[in-house]
Amino acid sequence: LIHDKPVWVRAAVTVAGPVYNFIFAILVFAAVFMVWGEGYMRPVVDQVNPGGAAARAGIVVGDEIISVDGQRTRADNDVRRIVMTSGGKPIIVEVERAGQVLSFNVTPDVVARPTPFGDQETQGVLNVMLGGNTAENLVRIDYNPATALVRGTERTWEIIDTQVRFIGALVSGGM
């Protein structure tokens, strides 16, 4: 039985489970990316709601959001993920406008949304529409096995980062 084993064996068994789960997640994402590739919408601002956080900061239609709070954003979902878990705290949004990179200090608006459990949670929003569902903003990437493994690792890290930010926002009262 495990309780009769030395402490290092019990520790190794305890750590092996979570490590395997991370490796498994990376391999599943890698397989999906290798077989089907990945498609996403570029985070180009298609609409700015007047009076919203983005409008107050100076973000305009046509800006492409290239980073939020120091994290590179290549897809519209990247922007949503980072802003949603910001807890309404000020963030720095970098955009590309007419070939120039501009930086804006933005305090996301906080909105309450119902959860599937019947209660409310708050989320940060910029109050913009991204992508516009136009073909020019749609990106499709095919991966070979090596790049699929790298992208699988990145995607696993993105999910971990989102969960840690979400828990942090819950604990700090930001959600």
Residue 9: pLDDT band with limits 50, 70, 90 = very high
What is the per-residue pLDDT for 175? 57
Q: What whole-number percentage of the chain has pLDDT above 90?
A: 67
Mean pLDDT of the chain: 90
Q: What is the mean pLDDT of residues 7-19?
A: 93
Q: Reduce the DSSP state of residue 17 to 3 states and report it.
A: helix
Q: How many degrees, rounded to 5, is the angle at CA 159 between CA 157 and CA 164?
A: 95
Predicted structure pTM score: 0.72
The rounded distance, in Å, linking the Cα atoms of 94 and 102 is 6
Lowest pLDDT segment from 8-12, 46-50, 87-91, 92-96:
87-91
Cβ atoms of residues 127 and 54 within 8 Å: yes
Q: Which residues touch 124 (CB under 8 Å, ≥6 apart)?
A: 83, 84, 85, 86, 87, 88, 89, 108, 109, 110, 174
How far is CA 106 from each of CA 22, 52, 68, 98, rounded to the nearest angstrom?
34, 10, 10, 20
